[in-house]
Structures are given as structure tokens and as C-alpha cells.
Structure 1
Amino acid sequence: MRLRFHSAWRGALGLGLLAGLGLSACNRSGQGEAATDKADTLATSNKPAPVDTLKLKRQAMRRDSLKADSIAKKTGQLPGSLLPGHRIVAFYGNIRSKGMGILGREPKAQMMRKFDGVLKEWQAADPSLPVLPAFHSVTITAQGSPGADGKWRLMNSKSTIEETRQWAREKNAILFLDVQVGWSDLEHELPKLTEYLKDPMVHLGIDPEFALGTMHVKPNRKIGTYDAKDVNYAINFLARIVSENHLPPKILMVHRFTRKMVTNVKNIKLDPRVQVVMDMDGWGDPVLKQDSYKAYIEKEPVQFTGFKLFYEYDIKPKPHHMMTPSEVLTKLNPKPLYIQYQ
């Protein structure tokens, strides 16, 4: 990138000094000072303007995006894109918590065996599309207490994140880092994950349910919300990481199970460096889950679609059951390319 600097300031400054030297002695104390001030003004006004680094980064991102658009138009996707060439099947939770999902609920070896079985079920249900395993780890978690800064969220330790990434490597899986901002916001929380997201295997999830800063209510008291501008911030954040580190496209997964969880969907601006999945995250009666998918995912598509299955909550109350891979593929349109188990 080239920066342009003004080069005419030397000439202007020279003219100002010559004007000052041409004054008579009797006027030196008055007009001489004015001329000197004029020279100083000229010198100051013609100095190089301060460099707006943020503006330059935005301009570079726009140029990169145009380049990415041109490649995507020729090939359909950027090189290294995971979707739509795979179906991602993810286990969700936190390895330090038994209550957040299947990822941490069972002992590691038992969980891994169960995961292998699920992957085989999905591959058998649709042999035409290779199944890609994923771990979806809640990495910044909404809390029941405000904490020292009053933001009602807590980030996992580095050791927990690294151990989870190692689990993913063992399974030849990709890893999603999921963010629940509490009373904070994406602008303050996502930069904490930058170093991890430089890893090609690491992707991002954002959860509007726990974005409660504008409501000022305790997590789990109300369902939070993101606007299109928040989703666009996450897209731009990931796109910059992709460009600056020469990475294949990232995936951004957005949880959703009500209309108000994501507002102004039509204003979401896609970027070929980031593949966006809208994931129907509701639990319970399979018929209601299908209706929610149709209302909030099928009717307001963004790019790719996802569907969530709950080992515990989908089966309550009986006779409800957790939908099988075959049911998901036959009942939902479009067929989701991201499947998440909690």
C-alpha cells in the first residue's frame, strides 16, 4: 500500500520567508511578526496530513472484497471454502461444563465414541455430501453475576481454549469459538479471539440470545438481539483476519430461534471471505422446530442454513423425540449444511 504525502510545502515556506525579509526595519516589529505568522501558517497548513490508519484498513478491505468477489464469480466460491461442499456436524458445549452441552457432559472418550456414531449416521443419510466434524465451544459465556466490570460475561482460560483446540485436532475437526456477550458487545469481545481465529481450523459463532446490553436485564431473563449491523461487524472482523493472514474463508454461525433475535436481516452484507450460517436453535416438539425453521430461516435466508438438535430438551415432554438425520433432511427445506448437537 502506498501513502501519498504533500511535497509542495517547501516551496510555500520559502516564499513566506522571502516576504518577511523584504520588510523595512520600521515595520519589522508589526508586519514582520504578521509575515512570520503567515509563514508559520503556510508551513503548518502544507505539512503532511495525519494518516488515518483505520480508513486505510477499510479501503484495503474494500479492495480485497472486490478482488474476492471477482474470484467468487468465476468459481462459485473462494478457494478453501468449506460450504456448500460439506455438511458440518458439530458437538456443542464447553469441555469444563457438564451443563452446557454434549461437548463437556460426558467423559471425553465416551463423547468421542458417540460423536463417531453421529458422524456415520449423517454420512449414511446423505452419501452425496462429505461430513465434516466440528466442535462448537462456548468460549465467552454469559454469567449469572455481573463480574468486576459489570458486563455479565466471562472468557475461557487460554488453557481451556488450547485443550479444546487439541480435541478438535485429534478428531480432524474444525473448531467454532462461540460468543455470548452479556452486557458487552461484539466490538469489545471479538478482538479477544483474534489470535485463535488466525488458525485456519478455527471459526466463529455469535449468540444473540445473550446479547442483553441494551436491555439491561440479567442473562436468561429475556431473549437478546442482534441487528444486521452487529452481524456485519462480525463479518468484517473475520474478513479482515482472512485478508491479513492469507487464510481460506471463515464461517460465521449465528444462532436464531425467534424473529427479533436478528433484526433487519435484509441489511446483512455478505462477503465471500466469510460464509454465514443462520442456525435454527430452538428445542422441543419436532413440529414446532420445523415451523420455526420455516419462519425464521427459510423465509429470511442469509446464505447457508443450520439446525440444532438437543439430546435432553428435544425429548421432553414425551412423546417428543430428537429428530433423526433422515427426518431433518426430508422435513427441512433447504436441507441444512450445518448440524449442531447440544
Structure 2
Amino acid sequence: MISGHRHRTAARTAAITAAIAVLGIATGCTQGAVTATHPATPTPSPRPSTTQTTPPRPPTRAPSVLARLTDADQARPADLLAPPEANSPQLPQGGRTILGSYRVVAYYGGPGGPALGALGNAPPEQMAKVIAARARQFAGYGLPVQPAMELIASVAQAGPGPDHLYSKTISPAVVQKYLDVAHRHHLLLILDFQPGRGEFLPQVQRFAEFLTDPSVSVALDPEWKMAPGQVPGTVIGSSRASSINRVGDYLAGIVRQHELPDKLLMVHQFTLGMLPDRAKLRHYRGIELVLHADGFGSRAAKIGTYRQLAFPGRPDGAGFKLFLTQDTGGLMSPAQVMALRPQPDVVTFQ
């Protein structure tokens, strides 16, 4: 169950303290937290002047008509029935929709090493091959598999920083490096945000130049969204639906303006209190909302958390996280993960 994660706090804190000493970072970890320690991110540097290369587009897939629409969208369904133009932007492996068209298999982490997650175990070019191999394990469960990298674009900090928001964004040059690899290997790149005492939307907007890319989606991490006076690593954070809806509305505008394929908007959760008014999350055309279950522990504890979160199913997607070193009793197999209900649309490894 969800509460089963909390008794591991002391051992986890000790492990984090050791990691801080090695990395020279200053941060903490929540009770039952699902992310590792947060290294100080590099000072943002000017974006390279080189022109971004767009990869060849795979063949077009017919778009599906999705139920996740605002009231305004429902008033004009004919727009959704029209096929995209032949030269319209496509997802990395073709098509315009993700949920129901692909199962996403991602590695999560930051660029500063493995302390933040498995994505940092090696340079992005090497990790792309690791992710592709992992994704192949989930073939044969009814959908093509779309490999992905979930890159932490803003990292919660134990110190206030110059803006007193307890969060630091990574350099656009680093994001470009991962995006170039994503293009070469036909991966999704999901930018993850840990806002500290700030709001999600301003941090997402800092990466606007990348959000016009069909390969780029967004994830939000309420665990690391703090109320005034709270410090990351000392409490489990939370987010109101309104903060998440502002991001959804913003992304929907980008998708509409640039005629992009759908983008994922993933929201991480492992306690009910992290999203106290989850029922107020809105749905926007072109934005596919995924509620993503985090939390490490035994297989029984993880399944218990997933059930207690009670994800509603369509039009929302469901996600499930596996911890390569922290899950106990052996890593759940693809068959065990696919036996969950609702069946996960996104499987993430940390």
C-alpha cells in the first residue's frame, strides 16, 4: 500500500547522504520518495548556434478520434475526423497519437550521473541503445513500442538559489544534446519538471524552443512542488489541478499553432495527497494526459500503490515506474507489469 513506502525513510536518507558526498550536491529525499538525490545542475549556457536537424518522417498513420476533448472541441468534431496533411509533423515512429497507438517505455533521470535515475548511467547515445533493448521486452502486448527518454529539465534543490525557488533548470545545450540523440534513434524526449517553490508553467515556458518539436513531451512531478516555507527533500510535495491545467492549456496552444502530433502530459504520483483535486484535471485536444504511478518497494507494495491510486482509465493514460536497484524481491517482469489494470500505457525505469 502507499503507506508501505514510508518505513524505508531512514535507510534511504543514509544512502542519499552518501550520494551527496560523492556528487558534491546539497539536497534531501522525501519519505517514500521515488526519485534519487538531485545534483546541482549546470549553469545555463547559451544555446548552440547550430541549426537543429529534423529527422526523416516515417509514414503517416491515420489519427484516432479521441474522447479527451474540452467542451469547445466537442462542438466541432469534424476537425478531428479530417486526416492530417501528407507533410504534417509526425511522431518519432509515425502517426499523430500516442495512447492506444503505442506503448511508451522510458528511462528517467538527469544528465549529472546515475544518482538522479537510470537515464544518467551513461551518455545519451549509449543510453538510447539500452532503452531500445529494454523496449523490445514489451513487444507482443498488443501495441508497438515507442522508446523514450524522460530527462529531468528542472531539479529541486535543498537550497533556495538566487531566485529563492529551490529549483534549478538545466542548460538548453544539454536538452539539445538529448534531443539530437532522440532524433537519431526515433525516441520521444519527455522533459520532466521539479519546480520547488515555483510553478510548473514558467519552467515549462523556459523550454518553449523545444516544445515545437514533435518528439518532445512534458512530465510534471508534484512530489517536488513545495508550498511556501517547505523545502524539497523534507516533505512530500503536492500540486493543485489548476497548476497542471495551465501547462496543459499552454501545450495545447503550441500543438494547435504548429499543427503538431499529440504530446504526452505525464503527472507523477505515489500518494493521494500529491494530487488532492485530481478530478479537476482538464483535457485538451492534442494533449494526452497520463497519470503515472511512482514508488519503490516489493511487488506487492507497488501493486497496492497502483490500485490505491485508482487511475480512471480512458481518456487518461496510466503509467508505472520500475526501480532498477531499489525495488525489492526482483524487478517485475513485463508480463507482470502488463497484468496491471488499467494496463500501463507508459512504463518507466529509474
Both structures adopt the same fold (TM-score exceeding 0.5): yes
Distance change in 2, residues 1:109/1:148 (3 Å): closer
Q: Which residue of 2 aligns with 1:335?
A: 343
| Greater Cα radius of gyration, structure 1 or 2 | 1
Are the aligned partners of 2:125 and 2:181 in contact in 1 as well (CA < 8 Å)?
no
1:110-158 superposed Cα distances (whole Å, 9 cap, x missing partner): 534432321121114x2x2100010000001111211111111111112
Alignment of 1:144-223 (within 5 A): 144-212=158-226, 214-223=227-236
Which amino acid in the other structure matches residue 269 of structure 1? R
Are the aligned partners of 1:277 and 1:302 in contact in 2 as well (CA < 8 Å)?
no
1:119 to 131, 135, 143: 135
Q: Secondary structure of 1:263's partner?
A: coil
In the alignment, the residues of structure 1 paired with residue 110 and residue 147 of structure 2 have an alpha-carbon distance, to the nearest angstrom, of: 16
Distance change in 2, residues 1:83/1:158 (3 Å): same
In the alignment, the residues of structure 1 paired with residue 336 and residue 137 of structure 2 have an alpha-carbon distance, to the nearest angstrom, of: 12
Distance change in 2, residues 1:69/1:295 (3 Å): farther
Distance change in 2, residues 1:242/1:217 (3 Å): same
Structure 1 or 2: more helix by fraction = 1
In the alignment, the residues of structure 2 paired with residue 132 and residue 153 of structure 1 have an alpha-carbon distance, to the nearest angstrom, of: 30
Alignment of 1:229-244 (within 5 A): 229-244=242-257
Aligned length in residues: 271
Which amino acid in the other structure matches residue 284 of structure 1? G
Are the aligned partners of 1:278 and 1:302 in contact in 2 as well (CA < 8 Å)?
no
Distance change in 2, residues 1:62/1:286 (3 Å): closer
Alignment of 1:296-307 (within 5 A): 296-298=309-311, 303-307=316-320
Q: Offset of 1:250 from its aligned partner?
A: 1.2
In the alignment, the residues of structure 1 paired with residue 280 and residue 122 of structure 2 have an alpha-carbon distance, to the nearest angstrom, of: 41
Distance change in 2, residues 1:187/1:70 (3 Å): same
In the alignment, the residues of structure 1 paired with residue 208 and residue 238 of structure 2 have an alpha-carbon distance, to the nearest angstrom, of: 23
Q: Offset of 1:300 from its aligned partner?
A: 8.1
Q: Any stretches of 5+ residues in structure 1 without a counterpart?
A: 1-60
In the alignment, the residues of structure 2 paired with residue 312 and residue 106 of structure 1 have an alpha-carbon distance, to the nearest angstrom, of: 16
Q: Offset of 1:188 from its aligned partner?
A: 2.2
Are the aligned partners of 1:310 and 1:322 in contact in 2 as well (CA < 8 Å)?
yes
1:81 to 85, 92, 97: 97
In the alignment, the residues of structure 2 paired with residue 68 and residue 210 of structure 1 have an alpha-carbon distance, to the nearest angstrom, of: 38
Q: Secondary structure of 1:190's partner?
A: helix
Q: Offset of 1:282 from its aligned partner?
A: 0.9
In the alignment, the residues of structure 1 paired with residue 148 and residue 254 of structure 2 have an alpha-carbon distance, to the nearest angstrom, of: 21
Distance change in 2, residues 1:67/1:138 (3 Å): farther
Distance change in 2, residues 1:321/1:163 (3 Å): same
2:114 matched to 1:104? no
Report which structure shows greater RCO (CA 8 Å, sep ≥6): 2
Q: Which residue of 1 aligns with 2:332?
A: 323
1:132-190 superposed Cα distances (whole Å, 9 cap, x missing partner): 01000000111121111111111111211111111212221010001000011123222
Alignment of 1:15-164 (within 5 A): 65-66=73-74, 69-72=77-80, 80-108=96-124, 111-124=127-140, 126=141, 128-164=142-178
Which amino acid in the other structure matches residue 338 of structure 1? V
**Could you tell me the TM-score, scaled by structure 1's length?**
0.74
Are the aligned partners of 2:291 and 2:311 in contact in 1 as well (CA < 8 Å)?
no
In the alignment, the residues of structure 2 paired with residue 94 and residue 313 of structure 1 have an alpha-carbon distance, to the nearest angstrom, of: 17
Are the aligned partners of 1:280 and 1:297 in contact in 2 as well (CA < 8 Å)?
no
In the alignment, the residues of structure 2 paired with residue 215 and residue 295 of structure 1 have an alpha-carbon distance, to the nearest angstrom, of: 28
Q: Offset of 1:98 from its aligned partner?
A: 2.2
RMSD (Å) for aligned C-alpha atoms: 2.4
Q: Which residue of 2 aligns with 1:308?
A: 321
Q: Offset of 1:71 from its aligned partner?
A: 4.0
Alignment of 1:250-329 (within 5 A): 250-298=263-311, 303-315=316-328, 320-329=329-338
Q: Offset of 1:70 from its aligned partner?
A: 4.7
Judge which range, 115-124 or 151-160, deviates more. 115-124
Q: Offset of 1:243 from its aligned partner?
A: 1.2
Q: Which residue of 2 aligns with 1:31?
A: none
1:182-201 superposed Cα distances (whole Å, 9 cap, x missing partner): 01112322211211101111
Distance change in 2, residues 1:109/1:231 (3 Å): closer
In the alignment, the residues of structure 2 paired with residue 74 and residue 172 of structure 1 have an alpha-carbon distance, to the nearest angstrom, of: 26
**Could you tell me the TM-score, scaled by structure 2's length?**
0.72
In the alignment, the residues of structure 1 paired with residue 271 and residue 313 of structure 2 have an alpha-carbon distance, to the nearest angstrom, of: 11
Q: Which residue of 2 aligns with 1:27?
A: none
Are the aligned partners of 1:83 and 1:275 in contact in 2 as well (CA < 8 Å)?
yes
